[in-house]
Structure 1
């Protein structure tokens, strides 16, 4: 895998995926994101690095449309705007990210062999936090008696 940084699109596979999205008809882009996320989330025993890198890129695009999500502004992401994405893609993106950082993930193994694994995993954690925010604790009653 040609990787040059820890960003979600900073590898050859994710950059190619950004181009694939641009080459996909506007009405079919959400389906492509869903397909990539499903492939990672439902991977068998082992998730290969290409599927993992695409899933991270897809999750970043889903997270970009969530409250608190960071826009994907890298030159390696898609150039064309994505349509508003279905809310249920958030849960699927979380599943895919959990699979990407699991023990049987080639992408996680490759990052664990580098000195940047902690920073890469923090980037994944940040995406996950946007996609599935922790609900606030209820210190104050919701209704007054």
Structure 2
């Protein structure tokens, strides 16, 4: 995975995920985001692949952008097409997915902990806080 910064779309996997979101019809964009959350939470206690975690964080950032206090996704690596109003029902699955990414048996967390990942982790926790309100 090529990573150039700590933001939700600052890596190759998330940038590729944004293409999948753009390719989805407007009515299906929420389902694409939900699928990213369910892929992460559906792994149970198994070791969580970093790419799944990256996609869940990117999806969570898009949901959080529509929450009170959420930051807009302005990076050029995010979706180019507008994201329609998303159902608030996406927030709990997003929180659960972020909890899984930050929990035990998460490759993405391990990779960030090998470097100075505290700023990355703080960013994910900020997303979680916005979504959990």
How does the TM-score come out when normalised to structure 2? 0.97
2:17 is equivalent to residue 17 of structure 1 = yes
Q: Which runs of 5+ in 1 are unaligned?
A: 134-145
Partner of 1:113: 114
Partner of 2:28: 28
Report the CA distance between 1:23 and its aligned residue: 1.1
Q: Which runs of 5+ in 2 are unaligned?
A: none
Partner of 1:4: 4
Q: How does 1:56-135 map to 2 (within 5 A)?
A: 56-115=57-116, 117-133=117-133
- Structure richer in helix, relative to its length: 2
SS in 1 for 2:88: coil
Report the CA distance between 1:41 and its aligned residue: 1.6
Tell me the number of residue pairs that the alignment of Structure 1 and Structure 2 aligns: 132
Partner of 2:40: 40
What RMSD in Å do the two structures reach over aligned CA positions?
0.7
Q: Give deviations 1:35-91, integer Å, cap 9, x for gaps.
A: 011111221311100000000000000000101111000000001111111111001
CA distance in 1 between counterparts of 2:74 and 2:14 reads 14
CA distance in 1 between counterparts of 2:42 and 2:95 reads 12
